[in-house]
Amino acid sequence: MEKKLVVGISDQQIAFPSDCLITYALGSCVGICLYDQLKRISGLAHILLPESFNSGSRNETYKFADTAIAELVNAMEKQGSSRNRLVAKIAGGASMFVNSTINIGERNVEAVKRELNRLNIKLIAEDTGLNYGRTVKFSSEDGKMTVTAIGKGIKIL
């Protein structure tokens, strides 16, 4: 029986075979799915902002790309995953505010990619940018990311 684990904003979860990770409301936020195909362990982080600027607050670790991804990797390693087997899929990073000069979604995507690169984790799929929100469902059983958006259909990554 599939167990559904909901990941909120500035949150993350780890899943095992037959588990499913879900996050809603990815506007400018980015959902980062990490997957170890051998162990079928997956993790999903829902980040809100690109950088912590060393905020130091433990309560905000999962809020930022530069701290959440490393924390997710560490948590997955504690469960038996190996960093050198991890691959990533990401979604979100939309430009949700028409008249804004600051595109936080674009900055979030750039920060996520920078952090994945720093950690030597290969990004194998993405559905990012544009101007609409997304919902992500990630299967730990097979590593498939399902991205849905109102009026945009379903994408399987």
Domains of the chain and any CATH numbers = 3-156 (3.30.1330.200)
Per-residue pLDDT tens, the chain, 157 aa: give them.
Answer: 678 999 999 999 999 998 999 999 899 999 999 999 999 999 999 999 998 876 555 568 999 999 999 999 999 999 999 999 999 999 999 987 766 667 899 999 999 999 999 999 999 999 999 999 999 999 999 999 999 999 898 999 9
Residues identified as active-site = 29
Strand order in the sheet with 122-128: 11-15, 41-47, 30-36, 86-92, 122-128
| pTM of structure | 0.93
